[in-house]
Chain A
Amino acid sequence: MRTLLPLAVAVPLLVAAGLSAASAAFQRRNRWALDGLAILTAAAVTAMLMALTVGAGSAQVYWFGGFRPAHGVALGIDFVASPLSAGLAAFAGLLVTAAMVFSWRYFERVSTFYHALMLVFLAGMAGFCLTGDVFDLFVFFEVMGVAAYALTAYRTEERGPLQGALNFAITNSVGAYLSLAGIALVYGRTGALNMAQVGRALAGHRPDGLVVVSFVLIVVGLLVKASIVPFHFWTADAEAVAPSPVCVLFSGAMVELGLYGVARVYWSMFGSALGHRGAISSTLLALGAATAVVGALFCFRQRHLKRILAFSTISHAGMFLMGVALLTPLGLAGAAIYVVGHGLVKGALFLCTGIVLHRLRSINETWLHGRGRRLPVTGAVYILAGLGLADLPPFATYLGKGYIEESGYSHGMAWVTAVLIITSILVGGAVLRAGGGVFWGLGDAPSEDPRMAAEASEEHSETEEGRGRTPLSMVLPPLVLVALAVAVGLLPHLGSVVQAAAVRFQDQGAYNATVLSGARVLHAQAPQPPEPTGITIADVATGVGSAAGAAVLALVSLYWRRLPLLRRGLEPGLGLVGPIRRFQSGVVTDYVTWIVLGLAVIGGALALSIR
């Protein structure tokens, strides 16, 4: 069982290199072998990680090279499979598999590049989730980074993908180097890179400047990946231009991995050393709420189908961060379930958008209005997924959001509920408006600001010439993803199982003992008492409420011009165009300025509250 830990990373890497070395063997006639091999590998890795998730009752530790720690000093690098870490990696594997099946007939793949990069990307994500060493975390951050930058620029004949990839690569690299500076700082203090060992060395001392600064630097690098305001600008650019199947991974897994990284370093290295749970919690909560609201507002005004989804990713990343930031088991469990539910429905939405692009050759909501009637199945899946995104029960999203709200409420933060509901309505409303207009031709085509339409005009090369009908290999993946989102939401005892996993994740003492002394900790201790995980009326009510709100908002904005008593010139979200264009400028030097500014603000806030 334990051997699966290294294999989950080594196998996709080996296959990627093997495909590349034998690229001459995969001529046009043998393309199916290439696709088959790549899909099979991704599926096998997913299965391995699934087995680890289920089997990792108490965390499993694997020491590379057999270098076990001696007297509490780690000599080598370890992988740790706990249910949450292996589960997230398995989820990433599932999305990679779905994306690869979708891309089979979707576009022309040059040589073996696409398959090799996707598999390296998968290995990078799995390694990032599993590693127990903070420098190794940086290495896998870069592995998935470099593969992702190259995949973003896949359609290199257009301008958008090049600019998106440049913005993505530069901002994320700056973030990575800030993280590395933080890692070097904490190494200079503790002489350790193993996260458990660092945590043990730091614990019990008063947190001083070095601890705070290295925590903030590491976290800011990860928040860039997690697309948290004000580090989020690259996300909209990259997800608007990357091929749709690749966007599934960016939106459903990669961004979430940034947040996972924050949780990992907090609950293995810094948690007990920093103390001041209140200050850290409120700083991260504020960032999360700001991200959720900004993302939702910007999302609502978009007319570019992929940009709508990209801003929705940003908004949801903010909601996930709020769940993590509560620092409670239920909050973390809610975030975990929400990540899975969101990744599934968002994946389906991106794939449906890919089908639209494949068949109708456009991505512009205004132009597409009503033209999607030719695609009834795609339309139905899109609308369903949109309702799922707006947290309609029994999609898993409602459960995740419900848990975050409950946890916030029981700690006297009812405003968390308000923020989550409002952002869900806005984001879901935008997606449903687009779906209802494009696929069912409801209402009027939304007006379009010519200044925002430029980029949508150049979107032809993503997919091959559309055929008469959509291939089954393209319809099936989104269908399966939506069905899975419902199935996960209906799993019995999901809440209590995930909360137990979250308790284990947050028990720093147990993590240290497992990693450094090989202890089998059967009963993890939560820093906060576990909270009830029953499915309450409130969960269902807020879920139904936000889905209904989103549907109403979508209908209102579609039929706006026909509503009586309203000024014709005004339209919902009109005032947002200016700010969107000013902030989301596309100029990467602006984005780096925002990173510096954000670092200053977060650092300042924590410095003042912890010193």
Chain B
Amino acid sequence: MTPGVRRGVFLAGMAAVLAFFLWGLVGLPGFGHYPGPYGDVLNAIGIRQTHATDIVSAVNFDYRAMDTLGEEFILFAAATGMGVVLRHLREERERSAVDEARDRTDPGTSEAVRVAAITFTGPTVVVGWYIVSHGQVSPGGGFQGGVILATAFAMIYLAGEFLALKRISPVPLADAVEAVGAASFAIIGISALGVGAAFLANVLPLGHMPGEVDSAGTIALISFFVGIEVTAAFVVVASEFLEQTLIVRRH
């Protein structure tokens, strides 16, 4: 199809699809009228059953932990897949000495950016760590905190220290950490079988009081490992892309 034909065909089809989709959407209870019961039931029993005051984390890491396990391995497969797709090929190593854009000059990093990035790296780590470790009591958890922690690595890059970044988190190490995070999740699930409970059951002590940091049993533990995996996965992803451009530039 030529672009013009394609656009025409698409617009005709999409008009029908839109009408069809709207036909379905008007069948929903109006906005603001969630009918239940799933969410209402979990809101009612979640705290008592899991001792987590963040019900979203209770859903993610306990009630629907299987979804999250699958999702962790989507991330794992994507990071592994990037390793496959962006691996250095024999011929490429020889060619990499030549920059594709010869007139590109390294602009260097301004002092302002450098100071700001270095200043914020520490606090970013603290905030990320806090979000990862308090997912069971307040909004947050392994995903959100993991992304923030990965940002700290991006800050180091922004400070112009890519080589330092490569030294503290080489891709193979980040890959291994990521795999360990994913494997730990599966191991937590299987160990519940070992004590006679169901796969991914919350078998750890739930703590005295909902709302305390040491409460909620495996929810906190899974959230922790998810945090590790997400951090490592995002570091892998960012480093793989950076290597594609920066290694070439360095030569």
Q: Does B81 contact A (CB under 8 A)?
A: yes
CB-contact partner of B20 in A17, A22, A136, A600, under 8 A: A600
Contacting pair B80 A117 (CB below 8 A): yes
Contacting pair A14 B183 (CB below 8 A): yes
Q: Does A55 contact B (CB under 8 A)?
A: no
Identity of the chain B residue whose Cβ is nearest the Cβ of A169 in the assembled complex: B81
Q: Does A63 contact B (CB under 8 A)?
A: yes
Q: Does B17 contact A (CB under 8 A)?
A: yes
**A284: chain B residues within 8 A (beta carbon):** none
Contacting pair A14 B17 (CB below 8 A): no
Identity of the chain A residue whose Cβ is nearest the Cβ of B202 in the assembled complex: A65
Q: Does B120 contact A (CB under 8 A)?
A: no
**B186: chain A residues within 8 A (beta carbon):** 10, 13-14, 17
* Alpha-carbon separation in the docked complex, A263 to B175 (Å): 38
**A21: chain B residues within 8 A (beta carbon):** 176, 179-180, 183
CB proximity to B under 8 Å, residues A1-32: 3, 6-7, 10, 13-14, 16-18, 20-24
* Alpha-carbon separation in the docked complex, A157 to B35 (Å): 52
Contacting pair B189 A17 (CB below 8 A): no
Q: Does A75 contact B (CB under 8 A)?
A: yes
Contacting pair B183 A17 (CB below 8 A): yes
Contacting pair A143 B84 (CB below 8 A): no
Identity of the chain B residue whose Cβ is nearest the Cβ of A154 in the assembled complex: B84
Contacting pair B179 A17 (CB below 8 A): yes
* Alpha-carbon separation in the docked complex, A174 to B200 (Å): 31
Minimum C-beta distance from B9 to chain A (A):
6
Contacting pair A64 B24 (CB below 8 A): no
Q: Does B122 contact A (CB under 8 A)?
A: no
Identity of the chain A residue whose Cβ is nearest the Cβ of B8 in the assembled complex: A593
Contacting pair B80 A65 (CB below 8 A): no
Q: Does B130 contact A (CB under 8 A)?
A: no
* Alpha-carbon separation in the docked complex, A7 to B12 (Å): 48
Identity of the chain A residue whose Cβ is nearest the Cβ of B41 in the assembled complex: A73
Most chain B CB inside 10 Å of its own CB: which residue of A17, A165, A210, A212 = A17
Identity of the chain B residue whose Cβ is nearest the Cβ of A155 in the assembled complex: B84
Asked, given contacts A17-B76, A20-B179, whether A599 binds B13 with beta carbons under 8 Å apart, the answer is yes
CB proximity to B under 8 Å, residues A93-134: 110-111, 113-114, 116-117, 120, 123-124, 127, 131, 133
Contacting pair A599 B176 (CB below 8 A): no
**A116: chain B residues within 8 A (beta carbon):** 76-77, 80
Asked, given contacts A13-B186, A146-B81, whether A66 binds B201 with beta carbons under 8 Å apart, the answer is yes
Q: Main SS of the interface on chain A?
A: helix
Most chain A CB inside 10 Å of its own CB: which residue of B20, B34, B36, B176 = B20
Identity of the chain A residue whose Cβ is nearest the Cβ of B79 in the assembled complex: A20
Q: Does A449 contact B (CB under 8 A)?
A: no
* Alpha-carbon separation in the docked complex, A6 to B189 (Å): 9
Contacting pair A75 B73 (CB below 8 A): no
Q: Does A33 contact B (CB under 8 A)?
A: no
* Alpha-carbon separation in the docked complex, A111 to B79 (Å): 14
**A154: chain B residues within 8 A (beta carbon):** 84
* Alpha-carbon separation in the docked complex, A487 to B83 (Å): 41
Minimum C-beta distance from B168 to chain A (A):
18
Q: Does A447 contact B (CB under 8 A)?
A: no
* Alpha-carbon separation in the docked complex, A18 to B81 (Å): 16
Asked, given contacts A153-B81, A156-B85, A600-B13, whether A185 binds B24 with beta carbons under 8 Å apart, the answer is yes
Identity of the chain B residue whose Cβ is nearest the Cβ of A131 in the assembled complex: B66
Identity of the chain A residue whose Cβ is nearest the Cβ of B36 in the assembled complex: A191
**A607: chain B residues within 8 A (beta carbon):** 20, 23
Q: Does A189 contact B (CB under 8 A)?
A: yes
Minimum C-beta distance from A136 to chain B (A):
6
Q: Does A604 contact B (CB under 8 A)?
A: yes
Minimum C-beta distance from B218 to chain A (A):
9
* Alpha-carbon separation in the docked complex, A429 to B200 (Å): 51
**B41: chain A residues within 8 A (beta carbon):** 70, 73, 75
**A74: chain B residues within 8 A (beta carbon):** 38
Q: Does B64 contact A (CB under 8 A)?
A: yes
Contact with B along A583-611 (1 / 0, CB 8 A): 00101011001001101100110010000
**A16: chain B residues within 8 A (beta carbon):** 73, 76
Asked, given contacts A67-B63, A143-B70, whether A599 binds B17 with beta carbons under 8 Å apart, the answer is yes
**A217: chain B residues within 8 A (beta carbon):** 21, 24
Q: Does A278 contact B (CB under 8 A)?
A: no
* Alpha-carbon separation in the docked complex, A91 to B43 (Å): 41
Minimum C-beta distance from B175 to chain A (A):
7
Contacting pair B200 A24 (CB below 8 A): no
Contacting pair A149 B81 (CB below 8 A): yes
Identity of the chain B residue whose Cβ is nearest the Cβ of A14 in the assembled complex: B186
Asked, given contacts A209-B24, A213-B21, whether A189 binds B29 with beta carbons under 8 Å apart, the answer is yes
Asked, given contacts A18-B183, A64-B65, A65-B65, whether A604 binds B16 with beta carbons under 8 Å apart, the answer is yes
Minimum C-beta distance from A299 to chain B (A):
23
Asked, given contacts A77-B67, A210-B27, whether A120 binds B84 with beta carbons under 8 Å apart, the answer is no
Minimum C-beta distance from B247 to chain A (A):
17
Most chain B CB inside 10 Å of its own CB: which residue of A13, A66, A73, A162 = A13
Contact with B along A195-226 (1 / 0, CB 8 A): 00000000000001111111011000000000
Q: Does B241 contact A (CB under 8 A)?
A: no
Q: Does A250 contact B (CB under 8 A)?
A: no
Contacting pair B198 A150 (CB below 8 A): no
Asked, given contacts A136-B70, A139-B71, whether A596 binds B17 with beta carbons under 8 Å apart, the answer is yes
**B21: chain A residues within 8 A (beta carbon):** 181, 213, 217
Q: Does B209 contact A (CB under 8 A)?
A: no
**B73: chain A residues within 8 A (beta carbon):** 13, 16-17, 120, 123-124, 143
Q: Does A439 contact B (CB under 8 A)?
A: no
**A133: chain B residues within 8 A (beta carbon):** 66
* Alpha-carbon separation in the docked complex, A150 to B112 (Å): 40
Contacting pair A64 B66 (CB below 8 A): yes
Contacting pair A589 B63 (CB below 8 A): no
Q: Does B139 contact A (CB under 8 A)?
A: no
**A73: chain B residues within 8 A (beta carbon):** 37-38, 41
CB proximity to B under 8 Å, residues A551-594: 585, 587, 589-590, 593
* Alpha-carbon separation in the docked complex, A181 to B24 (Å): 11
* Alpha-carbon separation in the docked complex, A407 to B12 (Å): 38
**A212: chain B residues within 8 A (beta carbon):** 23-24
The 3 residue pairs across chains A and B that have the minimum distance between CB atoms: A213-B24, A150-B81, A210-B27
> Can you sample 16 A-B contacts with CB below 8 Å?
A20-B179, A21-B183, A65-B62, A65-B63, A65-B198, A76-B64, A120-B73, A136-B67, A142-B71, A153-B81, A156-B87, A185-B25, A189-B27, A214-B24, A596-B14, A599-B13
Other than A111-B83, A191-B40, give 9 A-B pairs with Cβ distance below 8 A: A6-B189, A6-B198, A21-B180, A66-B198, A77-B63, A139-B67, A150-B82, A597-B10, A600-B16
